Structure 1
Amino acid sequence: MAASEGDGNGWVVSDAGDRRWGRFGAAGLLLRAADPTDPDTPLVLLQHRAVWTASGDTWALPGGARDSYEDAPVAALRETEEEAEIRPSDVVVRAEVVTHRMPGTVWHRPGLDMRHAAEMMRRMRPDQRHDEEPDGHPGEATGDAGGSGGGRLRTIPPLVQESADAVEWTYTTVIADAPRALETVPNNESLELRWVPETLVTELPLMPAFAQAWANGLRTEPVELVVDVANVLGSRPDGWWKDRAGSTTRLLDELGTGMPRTLVLPEGFGWVARAHAVIEGAARAAEHEGPFVLHRAAGSGDDAIVDLATELDGGSRRVVVVTADRGLRDRVPEGVLVVGPRALLG
């Protein structure tokens, strides 16, 4: 897909001379999908960046500059569609987190040090070279770019400060899930697009900024989810009390379509590898053929949840209970994490 020409193209330059692409900041998409061979380890879509890009020949996330009218998710989804031909409608956004900040001022007409440009062109694959004028007319004399039969580099204009007003450049990582490892089609900004198991991400030569963000909490941990269905159901005033069993079935089917999935935790992220739903009272008549393991409590639902969480605690996955019930929160084992319904409902 061709890249759009918005108003975000340009650089923010710090007082120290560091440059970041995107007049209004930048955003990238951290897209996960289930690995059929390993339920505890999701796949992550990574981009092997073309040599001519910033930090070229490294691996990072699809993404790019934000335009003035875009929020981070819109920008990240647009960039991913341009760079991988993944449609925004095929993914579900879970969260966004600012992973980098830098103060500076805005500059336009991006330029490169000519020695760097020559080295960049020397390393570029033949099918990615652009060292000759397309119409056969040479640009300003810049010297041979490194052995392409005498071709001359196109003129690269210098950076010009657009405003002396201070701005803060940010990079926002948008966390999202795909229903499966979607097919991708790279554009000229990529050498390759690859779905990589999370455990193998650090084995690739990562873009330094992405390597730092990844190490600072973007990776998930495997989660075993226990849902207090009565509490989650009661958090939405949609008439559930008129038909508890039917409303419970609809809720579980709705939540099940997004499994497995990324879950936002108080500190970091979890990958829901397995999910349990505890139902009680009239809701025990509910049916569900999706990913949730149903537990029909013979008596108190809270008692059943405590028993289940205690049984699962200490295993290979982090046990997370979904409830807003403070009394229940105080009863689960110390090693069990509790999050509210909003973490699951979005």
Structure 2
Amino acid sequence: MAASEGDGNGWVVSAGGDRRWGRFGAAGLLLRAADPADPDTPLVLLQHRAVWTASGDTWALPGGARDSHENAPQAALRETQEEAEIRPADVAVRAERVTSRMPGTVWHRPGLDMRHVAEMMRRLRPDQKPADSAAGTGPDGRPRTIPPLVQESADAVEWTYTTVVADAPHALDTVPNNESLELRWVPESRVADLRLMPAFARAWADGLRTRPVELVVDVANVLGSRPDGWWRDRAGATTRLLAELGAEIPRTLELPEGFGWVARAHAVLEGAARDAEHSGPLVVHRAPGSGDDAIAALAAELAGEASAGPEGGPRRVVVVTADRGLRARLPENVLVVGPRALLG
């Protein structure tokens, strides 16, 4: 069967009768942006769901059913454009994580145009509580009924919800559609204060929230991870790399232990790369000798400052390098990630 737009509309129903929207699963966009008032705490875009939607009148992420031809980022970006008018080109995807699963079978409502239902629901007042048996009234004044769900296939499927983690350059303007009562940029520290959709509340508490990160970049190692001819002009290649990295800070960074919010970053240069120029947000350290020596000393200094603060300090110190020798020299409370975590 050829893939078509909207072919993901439908329910997956478990043996116990639980329903999840999306024949091929669903995806939502966890979009962050910098908060000028608090560099260490990003803003998160949340959707106050319309009353007629599943788990209506709660807060969650923009998102919806995946179509058969889409991967999770494509579905999450499309749904966010439909529900908030945020263009995919204005968003940088950082990671994706399956945050909910349920086995079941696919069901649908025969003879029902879901776009018609969406338009019908749009016209309901927020204080109206729709049900399957209330789909408006006909000319005779009698209620129109929504056809019941019927099983489409007995074949078992696994429904999944994928949270796509992404960043915006700033808190973008939004325009809600009929699926939202409101769209709001919320400080990450205040998300749990809202009445969240139960599934999103569980996922949020299970590792979606970020921790502030202070990043130290082994520039020589990151530069060497891409064979793009950097050795012909090390200073020039380093200047370009610093500009590329600086353009994405602040940002979300996927970590082995969850997610970090990079509010401050350091770049350590050595050798010929010390002549590189940078006027962006990176704090540049030009090592007088060994770059590894400078990185180890800087990481130890930053980690000591963090551990001296309350509850382990405000920021997690993270070093970006694939150098095993350097890794062995770093303090135990410093986290190490490879260049791919930064470059994608």
Read off the aligned partner of 1:98 and give its amino acid letter: V
5+ long unaligned stretches in structure 2: 113-120, 307-313
**Aligned match of 1:333 in 328, 331, 334?**
331
Deviation of 1:5 after TM superposition, in Å, equals 5.0
Choose 312-321 or 45-54, whichever is displaced more.
312-321
Query: Quick check: 2:95–2:164 contact (8 Å CA) kept in 1?
Result: yes
- Tell me, what secondary structure is at the counterpart of 1:217? helix
Deviation of 1:125 after TM superposition, in Å, equals 2.3
Match of 2:296 in 1: 306
Match of 2:178 in 1: 188
The correspondence of residues 150-161 of structure 1 with structure 2, limited to 5 A, is 154-161=144-151
Q: C-alpha distance in 2, partners of 1:287/1:219?
A: 34
Match of 1:179 in 2: 169
Q: C-alpha distance in 2, partners of 1:20/1:50?
A: 17
**Aligned match of 1:342 in 303, 328, 340?**
340
Are residue 230 (structure 1) and residue 220 (structure 2) matched?
A: yes
- Tell me, what secondary structure is at the counterpart of 2:237? helix
Deviation of 1:124 after TM superposition, in Å, equals 3.9
Read off the aligned partner of 2:89 and give its amino acid letter: S
Deviation of 1:127 after TM superposition, in Å, equals 10
**Aligned match of 1:137 in 132, 136, 139?**
139
The correspondence of residues 73-112 of structure 1 with structure 2, limited to 5 A, is 73-109=73-109
Query: Quick check: 2:252–2:261 contact (8 Å CA) kept in 1?
Result: yes
Deviation of 1:256 after TM superposition, in Å, equals 1.0
TM-score by length of 2: 0.89
**Aligned match of 1:321 in 301, 319, 322?**
319
Query: Quick check: 2:135–2:145 contact (8 Å CA) kept in 1?
Result: no
Read off the aligned partner of 2:81 and give its amino acid letter: E
Deviation of 1:48 after TM superposition, in Å, equals 0.1
Match of 1:239 in 2: 229
Deviation of 1:137 after TM superposition, in Å, equals 2.2
Q: Deviations over 1:310-332 (max 9, x none)?
A: 11014221000000000000001
- Tell me, what secondary structure is at the counterpart of 1:313? helix
Query: Quick check: 1:11–1:106 contact (8 Å CA) kept in 2?
Result: yes
Deviation of 1:64 after TM superposition, in Å, equals 0.1
Q: C-alpha distance in 1, partners of 2:223/2:181?
A: 47
Query: Quick check: 1:95–1:175 contact (8 Å CA) kept in 2?
Result: yes
| CA RMSD across the alignment | 2.0
Read off the aligned partner of 2:293 and give its amino acid letter: D
Are residue 278 (structure 1) and residue 265 (structure 2) matched?
A: no
Match of 1:49 in 2: 49
Query: Quick check: 2:24–2:68 contact (8 Å CA) kept in 1?
Result: yes
Query: Quick check: 1:41–1:197 contact (8 Å CA) kept in 2?
Result: yes
Q: Deviations over 1:24-47 (max 9, x none)?
A: 000000000000000000000000
The correspondence of residues 1-80 of structure 1 with structure 2, limited to 5 A, is 5-80=5-80
Q: C-alpha distance in 2, partners of 1:156/1:84?
A: 28
Deviation of 1:267 after TM superposition, in Å, equals 1.4
Deviation of 1:138 after TM superposition, in Å, equals 4.7
Deviation of 1:6 after TM superposition, in Å, equals 1.1
- Tell me, what secondary structure is at the counterpart of 1:54? coil
Read off the aligned partner of 2:37 and give its amino acid letter: T
- Tell me, what secondary structure is at the counterpart of 2:17? coil
Q: C-alpha distance in 1, partners of 2:251/2:98?
A: 21
5+ long unaligned stretches in structure 1: 112-119, 143-153
Read off the aligned partner of 1:159 and give its amino acid letter: L
Read off the aligned partner of 1:324 and give its amino acid letter: A
Deviation of 1:109 after TM superposition, in Å, equals 1.5
Match of 2:205 in 1: 215
Query: Quick check: 1:52–1:124 contact (8 Å CA) kept in 2?
Result: no
Aligned identity (percent) is: 81
Q: C-alpha distance in 2, partners of 1:234/1:124?
A: 59
Q: C-alpha distance in 2, partners of 1:312/1:232?
A: 21
- Tell me, what secondary structure is at the counterpart of 2:183? strand
Query: Quick check: 1:132–1:138 contact (8 Å CA) kept in 2?
Result: no
